[in-house]
Amino acid sequence: MKRAASVLLSSLVLGAIALSAAPVDAADAGAPPVRCVSFRAEVRYGASAYNHIVVLTNACDKAEACSVATDVNPEPVKVTVPAHGLTEAVTFLGSPARVFVPRVSCVPVK
């Protein structure tokens, strides 16, 4: 019985590690589509903790103003993603969590 619990725990840990390295986009996060702005979650290890970064890519012909929050940090970060450009939004520095789910909403810059 202890061996089965150990194998199950190991599988869960490996699954969590794999999920933390996998990019998360709007479809994976269960969020509504964000027009032509796509995004993914990145976890970067540094200073004995994890930094949460959301990478936003804009395929639009106009810049997009985006609000980025996560399940770990619900306080939104405001960023502007240039037309046909890329921007990184840092949502948490020094988090104990290896996994997070981004929430992104964007509107065209007028």
Domain architecture of the chain: domains with CATH: 23-108 (2.60.40)
pLDDT tens, residue by residue, 71-81: 999 999 999 99
Q: For residue 24, give every residue at least 6 positions away whose Cβ sits within 8 Å of its Cβ, in sequence order, or none.
A: 40, 41, 101, 102
pLDDT tier at 47, thresholds 50, 70, 90:
confident
Q: What is the pTM of this model?
A: 0.68
pLDDT tens, residue by residue, 14-46: 344 334 444 444 445 555 555 799 999 999 998
Residue 95 has pLDDT above 90, yes or no: yes
